[in-house]
Structure 1
Amino acid sequence: MTSSERRASFGNATEVFRKALTSLLIGAIAYAITNLTHQPQIWAITLSIFIAGVVLVVQFLVTFEERLKETSSVVKQHSTTIDQRSEQQSDTIKRLVERRFSEIHTVSELFGLIEESVLSNDIVIELLRNAADIDPTSPLCHAFAEAEIRRMSQFLRELNQGDATYNGEDRDWLLTLARNAHSSIDATSLPAVDAGAKGWDDGFWESDLGNRYLEAQRDAVQRGVNIRRVFVAREEDTAAYRSFLRMCQRQIGLNIKVRVLSPDEIPQTLRNVMIDFILFDGIVSYEVTPAVTVGTNVHPAIVNTRVVLRPEKVRQNAEHFEELWSAARPVRVDSSPEAAAS
C-alpha cells in the first residue's frame, strides 16, 4: 500500500470514528434527559439508542451527499473535457476530410486539364510518376529534381505567354526543335554568333553542339524537312577561309540549301534589325543575342536565347528571311576557294 493510500485509509477511519463518537455523545445526552424526566429505564435506553442511530445515519447521509456532489462535479469536469476533446477531434477530422476532398478535386481538375491538353497524356503521367519515385532520403537529389521541375514549369508558363528566355547559350531547345520539325527550317548564321575567335574554323559549327545540330538537321532532311541557311560573311573572307568552304560543303552534302550574303548586300531595311534567328515550321522563332566583344581574337559569347511563338514576331522574321534569301547568292563549292566564292 502506498503512502497516499495509507493516508486515505487513515482519514476514512478517523471520519467514521468521529461520526460514531458524535452519535454516542448525542445518545448519552438523550439518555441523561430521559432520566431527568423519570422515564422507565427501558424507554430511556431505547430512546437514546434510537436518537444516536438517527444522528449516525444523518451524518452518513450528509457525507454521502457531499461525496455525491464531488463525484458529480468530477464527472461533469470529465464530461466537459471529453466533449472538448471530442469536438477538437471532430474539427481535426473535418479539416482532414475537407483537405483530402480538396486534394482529390485538385487532382481531378489536373487530370481533366491533362485530357484536354494537346500534350501526350502518357508523358505527363510518366513525369508525375517519376517525380513521385524520387528518393526522399537524398536531400540534394530531391532539391535538384524540384529545381528542374520548377524551371520546366516556368518555361511552360513563358512558352504559353508566347516568349521563353534562357540566359546564356542554349543547347536542349535547339536540338529538340530540330529533331521535331515537320516541314521547314529557315536559318541565318551571323559571324557574331557562329564564328570563332579565329573565324569560322573554330566557331559554332566545329563545336560539339554544332555537330549534333547538323546531325539533327540531317535526320530532318531525311524525313522531308526543307532546310535553308543564309550565311552572312564578306566575300573576301569566304575566299580566304577554306574552313568556311568546308563547312558549306558539309551542309550542302546533307541537302541543306546554303546561300551567302555579304554584309554590304543586306537590304537597307534590315541592317538595323538584323538578328541571328531560326524559324522552325514557320511557327517557332529561335533567336540568339550575342554579347558585345571587346578586342580581337575573342570568342563570341551569348547573352541569352529566346523561343518566340508570338505570330506577329514569327511572321516578321519569316518576311526578313525571305528578303535575305532573295538577296543572297548560292554557294558553289568547287576545287578552289575562288571558284567556290564566285
Structure 2
Amino acid sequence: MNGAPATTTTTTGQPPPAAPVPPRPEPRGLRVPPVLMKILVTALVFVIALLVTNALDQKQGAGDVWNLTASVVIGGAALIVQYLVDFEKRLEEIETSQADMIRDVKDNLVNHHVALTELVDDRFRQINAATELFSNVDRSVLRSDAVIKLARRATECGKLNNETVKTFASEEIERLAGLLENLSSRSADCLGENQDWLIGLTRCIKHSLDATSTSVDRHFWGSEPAARYLEAQSDALSNGVEIRRLFLVDTPEEIDDEVRALCNNQRALEIDARVVALSELPAWAQLGTKSDFIVFDRELSYEIDQDTKDVNAKTTLNARPGHVEHRMRQFTRLWDATLRLPDAGIPQPADGRPD
C-alpha cells in the first residue's frame, strides 16, 4: 500500500470529472497618476534634449546657458504638448457626451411629443364623444336633466369611501345600462314578475291600456303592489286614458263571488272590466290565452310567462310593432267574443241579483 491517494471510478468505469478550478485573478498593473506620468515624460524629454544639446555644444562650442535653456524649452514644449493632447482627448469626450445627450434629448422630446399628441387626441376623442352624447341627449325626447343628474350622482357615488355603496351603485348602473340597451332594440326581459315595470309603465300611458288577467294572478289583486297599480290606473283614467281588462277563467263554474267582486271593484274605478269563461268562446278565440299580457298605448306589450307549476317565471317587454299588433288583434278577438255573452259584460253575484 503506497501513499498515493486512492482514485474512485463511476459505475461506467470512468474516473469522475475533475472539479473546476476557479480562474486566478489577473494581477492589477501599477497605475501611474496622469500628472506624474506627464512629469516623467517631461523630465525624460528634458534629459534627452540636454544630452543632445551638450553633444552639439561640443561640436559648435555653444555655452552651457544655451544648452540648459534649449533643454528647458524643449521639456516645456513636451509638457504643453501632453496637456494639449489630454485637452483634445477630453474635448472629444465632452463633444461625444454632448452629442449623446443631445440625441437622448431629441429622442425623449420625440417620444414625449408622440405621447402628448396621443394623450391630446385621446382627450379630444373623449370630449367629442361626450359632446356627441349630450347632443344626442338634448335632441332625444328623454329628459336631458335627468340623464345629466344620473351621470353626476354616479360620479359622486364613485368618490365615496364606502366600497359596498360604490359596488352597489356600479351594479345598478350596469343593470340600468343593460335595460336601456335592450329597450333600444325594442325588447327586454327579467326573471320573475317585475311589478316596478308594471306600475311605471302605467304612469307613462297617454291613450289606452288593454290587459288580460288569468287565474294565476288572482292573489296579486289583494297585495300592496296591486293597490299602487290601481292607483296609477285611476290617475290615468282621470287624464282620459281608456282602460279595458278581461278576467279569464277556464269554465263558467270558476266565475264565483270572488271573481265577480274583483270585476265589480274595478268597474267601480271606471275600468271597463269583463270576466269570461274560455270554454264558452269558440276555439279560434282561445288562442294565446295561457299567459297574461298588457298592451300600453298600443305601442308596448308587457307579458308574464308562467312555468309548468303556473308560477310567474319571466316578465318581457316587447315594443316590436309586429308583435304589438299581434297582441292587439288577440285582445280585440277576445273582447269582441265576450260581447256575444250575456254575463260577460255585467257580472252577476252568486244569488243571481245584480249588484
TM-score bracket for this pair, using the shorter chain length:
0.7 to 0.9
Distance apart, 1:254 and its partner CA:
0.8
Counterpart pick for 2:292 among 276, 300, 307: 276
Query: How far off its partner does 1:140 sit?
Result: 2.9
> Cα deviations across residues 314-341 of structure 1 (Å, max 9, x unaligned)?
12221221221222211345xx423268
What's 2:168 paired with? 144
Structure 1 moving runs of 4+ over 3 Å: none
- SS of alignment partner, residue 331 of structure 2: helix
Indicate conservation of the 8 Å contact 2:288/2:330, yes or no.
Answer: no
| Structure 1 residue 178: Cα displacement | 0.8
Query: How many residues align structurally?
Result: 313
Aligned to 2:23: none
256 and 285 in structure 1: CA distance in 2 versus 1, 3 angstrom threshold: same
Amino acid aligned to 2:73: F
Of 268-277 and 57-66, more deviation after overlay is shown by 268-277
- Corresponding letter in the other structure for 2:46: G
Alignment of 1:107-146 (within 5 A): 107-136=130-159, 137-146=161-170
Match 2:211 to one of 178, 187, 207: 187
In structure 2, the gaps of 5 or more residues are: 1-30, 339-343
- Identify the structure with the greater helix proportion: 1
- Residue 179 of structure 1: how far off its partner (Å): 1.0
Matched residues in 2 for 1:48 and 1:211: separation?
123
* Structure number with higher relative contact order (C-alpha < 8 Å, ≥ 6 residues apart): 1
The equivalent position to 1:103 in structure 2, one of 109, 113, 126, is 126
Contact between 2:248 and 2:276, CA under 8 Å: does it hold in 1? Answer: yes
* Structure 1: 5+ residue stretches without partners: 1-10, 196-202, 294-299
Paired position in structure 2 for 1:178: 202
The C-alpha deviation readout for 1:254-301, integer Å capped at 9, x for no partner, is 1111111102023311324223111111211111111111xxxxxx41
Q: Does 1:21 align with 2:44?
A: no
**Distance of aligned partners of 1:29 and 1:66 in 2 relative to their CA distance in 1, 3 Å threshold:** same
Which residue type is aligned with residue 310 of structure 1? R
Q: Does 1:36 align with 2:55?
A: yes
Task: Confirm whether residue 47 of structure 1 aligns to residue 60 of structure 2.
Answer: no
SS of aligned partner of 2:157: coil
Q: Percent of counterpart pairs with the same letter? A: 33
Q: 1:223 to 1:216 in 2, by over 3 A?
A: same
The correspondence for 1:208, drawn from 224, 246, 260, is: 224
Q: If you compute each CA radius of gyration, which structure gives the higher value, 1 or 2?
A: 2
Alpha-carbon distance in 2 for matches of 1:339, 1:155: 49
User: What's the C-alpha RMSD, in Å, of the aligned pairs?
Assistant: 2.1
Taking structure 1 as the reference length, the TM-score comes to: 0.85
Q: Is the 8 A contact 1:245 1:340 kept in 2?
A: no
| TM-score, length of structure 2 as denominator length | 0.82
**Separation in 2 of the partners of 1:19 and 1:70?**
20
